[in-house]
A and B are shown apart, each in its own frame.
Chain A
């Protein structure tokens, strides 16, 4: 019954095929497609929950299924279900291509799932590319042709460049160690970490994921792509794709990174620059999605602190933070999709009067922003707390100090958004936003999750700890 281990992946493959068939039927049935997608995505979550406890390996030990990978598969499936949940009106996407959104979203999620389980460079490379290519196309499908295509082109060029760098790193590692299997590499590498070539190779091999996570040298696509992509697609990039990148970075660094000061120092520099650049650039942004993009860059920096601490606490912190990012970022995008319901881009000031137009969304936005800024008692605070304590244990005091300063800087623009939503009066009279009951329920549930996971984080923390335990 080995195929049972593979059940989430098989499920998502079948779901993708189902949409392939649907897209061939010709006429667009928007509601039908959305209902099917939602049903499949929710069923996917159920499949991932059911396979949470599975353990084993497939394909001559190049594909590892453990608690770590299954937790992340669950997160990815939840992310997809949430994003599909806000796809009921795809006004940002060109009508003739609406079919293809689900057709591309499902394989992309499948690819991210393959990514978190792969422990062979070949699997890592192929699944990374599969997920990226789906996203390049999804970004380019924006209704406003020029914006979408330009963003798609930029995403494509930067992404392909990053993957060429990643391949170069892999080939260096292959040349110096003679193996492409990460598990064998983990046994050989610790003795070789003093060689510069090995460290450079490892860093380059991770650059594909730095690109996905929008870490410093590969961050400059983020703002344009978020701005150019349809809101739902930007939400997908900000949540699912980030979670997958964190997963791979955690696993690879946990398996390969040990005992090289040089490696840690480079990661620390990347982290500091990402945080600072992200936060300072975000202050200057007027467009809401560009602002969110730079805040993502900053969050990538925080996550890197957890990863470079290289202790179980740090990995658990990074895993917890991945969960937090998924919920917080999605909530902001939910508000964005509902406020900018016609699919156009929204300025920060466009949030004006939100507390009167829809008190529920305003509250969801408030909690999400507090959480992003790391104020207690929200999930974002717990995540940052876990990461920073893990870093302090390893004596990275300066790093934590810089991160704290950055948190303060980030408060400024999060509060600007909040001020727009609560204090600014809109220029012209705006009608109240009408929300469907499921969306209201979803917004309420997200608020509850963010606060509850902040006050009682024990369950999630234990899950993250157990997942991180299996890595070492």
Chain B
């Protein structure tokens, strides 16, 4: 029997890995993947709560998050690609602006 707590623990761990990754990784693609990990941790929590509360709202929200994340991937990867075409790098440390 998997309890609500196990789901919450798992998603908390996933969310933390993602959040730490955003701050420690310097590769734009990996940072983006870490953020996706955070989003999926949220999705897992929504589903877990949704089952636990017997409420469909959470399920619907997860579908929306997945749809929006797809649009986000389109925008984000386009920007990262454009950066790579220009600079031949996706390392955010080699970008001049990102210091402030």
Q: Which residues of A contact B (CB under 8 A)?
A: 121-122, 125-126, 129, 133, 136-137, 140, 145-147, 149-154, 156-157, 160-161, 164-165, 167-168, 170-171, 174-175, 178-180, 220, 223-224, 227-228, 290
Given A160-B76, A161-B38, A223-B100, 16 more pairs with CB closer than 8 A: A126-B64, A129-B71, A137-B79, A147-B97, A149-B82, A150-B83, A153-B79, A153-B83, A154-B97, A157-B28, A164-B38, A168-B15, A168-B45, A175-B53, A178-B49, A178-B53
Contact of A125 with B68 in the complex, beta carbons under 8 Å: yes
Q: How far is the CB of B88 from chain A (nearest CB, A)?
A: 12
Q: In the complex, which of the residues B58, B86, B92 contacts A174, with contact meaning CB atoms closer than 8 Å?
A: B58
Contact of B28 with A153 in the complex, beta carbons under 8 Å: yes
Contact of B71 with A175 in the complex, beta carbons under 8 Å: no
Which single residue of chain B is at the shortest CB-CB distance from A146? Answer: B86
Q: In the complex, which of the residues A129, A151, A228 contacts B72, with contact meaning CB atoms closer than 8 Å?
A: A129
| Interface presence of B17 (CB below 8 A) | no
Q: How far is the CB of B46 from chain A (nearest CB, A)?
A: 5
With contact pairs A129-B68, A153-B95 given, residues A175 and B49 touching in the complex (Cβ less than 8 Å): yes
Residues of A within 8 A of B71 (CB): 129, 133
Which single residue of chain B is at the shortest CB-CB distance from A180? Answer: B57
Contact of B42 with A161 in the complex, beta carbons under 8 Å: no
Contact of A174 with B49 in the complex, beta carbons under 8 Å: yes
Which single residue of chain B is at the shortest CB-CB distance from A178? Answer: B53
Contact of A157 with B31 in the complex, beta carbons under 8 Å: yes
Which single residue of chain B is at the shortest CB-CB distance from A223? Answer: B100
Residues of B within 8 A of A147 (CB): 97
Q: How far is the CB of A256 from chain B (nearest CB, A)?
A: 17
Which single residue of chain B is at the shortest CB-CB distance from A160? Answer: B35
A290 vs B99: C-alpha distance when bound (angstroms): 13
Residues of A within 8 A of B64 (CB): 122, 125-126
> Which B residues from 16 to 58 make CB contacts under 8 A with A?
18-19, 22, 28, 31-32, 35, 38-39, 41-42, 45-46, 49, 52-53, 55, 57-58
Residues of A within 8 A of B86 (CB): 145-146, 149
Can you report 24 A-B residue pairs in the complex whose CB atoms are below 8 A from each other? A126-B64, A136-B79, A146-B86, A146-B87, A149-B79, A149-B82, A150-B83, A151-B97, A153-B80, A154-B98, A156-B75, A157-B31, A157-B35, A160-B76, A164-B39, A165-B38, A167-B39, A168-B15, A168-B42, A168-B45, A175-B49, A180-B58, A224-B100, A227-B97
Q: How far is the CB of A463 from chain B (nearest CB, A)?
A: 34
Contact of A152 with B60 in the complex, beta carbons under 8 Å: no
With contact pairs A122-B64, A180-B61 given, residues A156 and B76 touching in the complex (Cβ less than 8 Å): yes
Residues of A within 8 A of B78 (CB): 137
A121 vs B60: C-alpha distance when bound (angstroms): 12
Residues of B within 8 A of A228 (CB): 97
Q: How far is the CB of A352 from chain B (nearest CB, A)?
A: 25
Q: In the complex, which of the residues A137, A149, A152, A171 contacts B42, with contact meaning CB atoms closer than 8 Å?
A: A171
Residues of B within 8 A of A146 (CB): 86-87
| Interface presence of B3 (CB below 8 A) | no
A227 vs B95: C-alpha distance when bound (angstroms): 14
Residues of B within 8 A of A136 (CB): 75-76, 79
Residues of A within 8 A of B46 (CB): 171, 174
A248 vs B97: C-alpha distance when bound (angstroms): 30
Residues of A within 8 A of B18 (CB): 164
Contact of A167 with B60 in the complex, beta carbons under 8 Å: no
Which single residue of chain A is at the shortest CB-CB distance from B76? Answer: A156
Counting chain B CB atoms within 10 Å of each CB, the highest count among A154, A220, A290 belongs to A154
A145 vs B45: C-alpha distance when bound (angstroms): 40
With contact pairs A140-B79, A171-B42, A224-B98 given, residues A153 and B61 touching in the complex (Cβ less than 8 Å): no
